[in-house]
Amino acid sequence: MRDGTPGRIFTGGHREKNPVCSRSIWSSIAALGLLPGCYGVSASFIKELKELGYSNVAIEQLVRLKDHGVSASYIKRMKEKGYDVSLDEYVRLRDRGEREE
C-alpha cells in the first residue's frame, strides 16, 4: 500500500523511504527491462518468467509473486505437474499450500 507520498511505501506495517522503488519511476525502469532489487525482484527473475511464457508482467504482479513465494522454478515444476494457469492462480495455489514436489 502507498500513502501517496512519492518514495514512501508501506512494507511490513511500517513506512520505508525508498526513492529507487517509488511508483513514479517504475514505468521507466520497466521500459529499460531493469528492476533494481526492489522487493526481491531481479532482472533474472523477469527473464526466467519470460522464458516460461510470461512477458510484459506488470511490476506490481512481479512484486506480488515474490511476496507470496512464487518463484520461476515453482511455476516450472507446477507446469510439469499439469498446472498451466495464470500468474494469479499460481499465487492462489501457493497460498493454499500446493507444493511443486
Where does the chain have alpha helices with state H? 23-32, 43-51, 59-67, 72-80, 87-95
Residue for grid cell 517504475: 26
* Distance set, CA 95 to CA 6, 41, 56 (Å): 31, 19, 24
Q: Is the pLDDT of residue 94 over 80?
A: yes
In angstroms, the CA 1 to CA 53 distance is 28
Give me the mean pLDDT over the 41-70 stretch: 90
Mean pLDDT of all residues belonging to the chain: 74
pLDDT of residue 38: 61
pLDDT of residue 96: 93
Alpha-carbon dihedral angle through residues 9, 10, 16, 21, given to the nearest 10 degrees: -30
Chain segment 10-34, per-residue pLDDT in tens: 444 433 445 445 444 445 555 555 5
pLDDT of residue 29: 55
